[in-house]
Amino acid sequence: MPRTKKQFEEIREQTKTKILNVALELFAKKGYSNTTISEIAKSANISKGLAYNYFESKEQLMEEVIKILFVEIENMFIALEGEKDPFEKLSRIIDLTFEWVTEREDFWRLYTNLLMQVETKVIVDKVAGNFMDSMFTEMEKMFRKMKIKNPVEEAKIFGAILDGMSFHILFLGNEYPITQMRNFLKSKYSKENLV
């Protein structure tokens, strides 16, 4: 018996997800330019031609990958929304950042690459808008709740520390004292030390 429309759609959805996952992984590992459509197709167990059935071009595939990337980042923050205690929230942000940067290294590498290159930055802007602004605002709110002086500036400093450390970890790998710094940072931004 022929498949129903719904079944077809499910298959389509599955294939598309497969391609996106594979593309994300490869773009992150090897960079956008050094990843070929052939490789992606092979890794996804489909033909080159079929990839073009799902995505107009390599660039559009990249766009969709970036979208996923930012959705995941957004989800990370949504997961924190329940947390009302700003000190606890800060602590969890630190944890999450360290977890992500170690467990999803490629992911972060792709993210950082994207932001730095003028050409891909356009794509990022298109799909992610001013996400960095909202991050700063989010953190500012936290610091304000904590009654810290200069919450605007402290939020930016805090953001810089997280991104800067991610940087250093990605660059130095195991040579970086990850656990030690994580604990140090959490202590530095703990209730006892901040207030």
Partner DNA sequence: TATGAATGAGAGTTCATTCAT
Partner DNA sequence: CATGAATGAACTCTCATTCAT
Q: H helices within 4-104, ranges in order?
A: 5-30, 37-43, 48-54, 58-81, 86-103
Span interacting with a copy of itself, options 6-14, 17-25, 70-78, 158-166, rule CB under 8 A: 158-166
Residue 147: exposure state from Cβ atoms within 10 A (0-12, 13-18, ≥19): exposed
Residue 156, binding choice from DNA, a copy of itself, none, Cβ under 5 to 8 Å by partner class:
a copy of itself
Quick one: which H or E segment has residue 195?
Answer: none
- Rounded to a whole number of angstroms, the minimum distance from the CB of residue 148 to a copy of itself is 12
Span interacting with a copy of itself, options 62-70, 81-89, 140-148, 173-181, rule CB under 8 A: 173-181
Kindly give, in sequence order, each residue whose CB lies less than 8 Å from that of residue 160, ignoring residues fewer than 6 positions away. Answer: none
Binding site for a copy of itself (CB under 8 A): 29-34, 109, 112-113, 115-119, 121, 132-133, 150, 153, 156-157, 159-165, 167-168, 170-172, 175, 177, 180-181, 184-185, 188
